[in-house]
Amino acid sequence: MRTTLHIIQQASTFNWNSLINQFLEKMKKNDLSVKTINAYKHDLSLFVKWIDTINPLKNLHALTEIDIIEYRQHLINSDLKAATINRRIGSIQRLCRWAVEYKLLKEDVSKVVKQINITTRGCPIGLKPAEVQRLLQTAGQSKHGHSKRNYALLHLMLQTGLRVNEVAELKLKDIELGERSGMVTISLGKGRKTRTIPLNSKARRALKLYLNSKNRENSTNSVFISERQTALSTRSIQSIITELAKRANISRIRVSPHTLRHTFAINYLKQNPSNIVQLANLMGHESLDTTAIYTQPSMEDLADNLELMAKG
């Protein structure tokens, strides 16, 4: 089969942009998220910029293992985090696998390049019960008519573990509230996958108070809105949570939307120790490995256990 992909190899000057654009189009057809596509584009553009400076290629067949190994060393010398380096190398490896599939490369020259070992972390840190109560109390005291909105926002995130971008994109049609049950539907989660999460009584009660308030009359279809009746952006939600944590005098950890997500996951597994698969489904994780980190003991748990041993 002869396609436009093969024409790239015949050009006198190698067209990286054309190659990468075709690769990204294929990734879009594989239903990868916009965030993932943009990450590939960013990572590959940095690699192209580097290799055009160090060793310009006439065609993709000229790409070698040494090129990628040297780029990996360049990233290491740049004092980047191991996760960032691994992601950038991973983007190149994904491109190479695709290029082999379409016969733009005879063999995958990236497969021998190893990623950097990342030190195993303990469980992410969440909020303690007393901190949660202070945060909710502070939200309920918000001024300018935002008390019910902020209270509902926190409860929803603490009781469902939604990502901040998922909260920002919520529409009224995505939420169902009954007397004894309720649910929220995430239509475009990570990987553009849909999932439905039950709402417990605390989340239902907070959402009802907010959605039935006068501030919601004749407003946009977005669930969480600003004074201007426009949807709260991801950045706005982050700012709200940061400010509430500051006013609640929570200084033990830095509080962000992801902290609320961690808090949900930690509390869920404390109450349901063997239900890691259910937690993965609730949080929209593509791999159980991602969820498994919540099964690791935190440094605080380890310290508490050692204190108990000392007292015993």
Please count the residues of the chain: 312
Q: Are 102 and 18 in contact (CB under 8 A)?
A: no
Select which of 26, 146, 208, 258 is catalytic. Answer: 258
* DSSP secondary structure letter of residue 194: -
Q: Are 96 and 21 in contact (CB under 8 A)?
A: no
Question: Quick check: is 262 catalytic?
Answer: no
According to DSSP, the residues that pair with 196 across neighbouring strands are 185
- Residue 131 corresponds to which amino acid? E
Select which of 190, 204, 262, 268 is catalytic. Answer: 190
Select which of 71, 210, 268, 294 is catalytic. Answer: 294
Q: What is the DSSP secondary-structure string of 271-304?
A: HSTT-HHHHHHHHT-S-HHHHHGGGSPPHHHHHH
Alpha carbon distance 44, 88 (integer Å): 7
Q: Residue 10's CB: how many other CB atoms inside 10 A?
A: 7
Q: Are 296 and 124 in contact (CB under 8 A)?
A: no
Select which of 163, 204, 262, 268 is catalytic. Answer: 163
Question: Quick check: is 151 catalytic?
Answer: no
Residues 284-298 as b/e (b if ≥16 CB within 10 A, e otherwise) read bbeeeeebeebeeeb
According to DSSP, the residues that pair with 175 across neighbouring strands are 184
Question: Quick check: is 190 catalytic?
Answer: yes
* DSSP secondary structure letter of residue 8: H
Question: Quick check: is 258 catalytic?
Answer: yes
Residues 86-122 as b/e (b if ≥16 CB within 10 A, e otherwise) read bbbbbbbbbbbebbbebebbeebbbeebeeeeeeeee
Question: Quick check: is 6 catalytic?
Answer: no
Question: Quick check: is 208 catalytic?
Answer: no
Residues tagged active-site: 163, 190, 258, 261, 285, 294
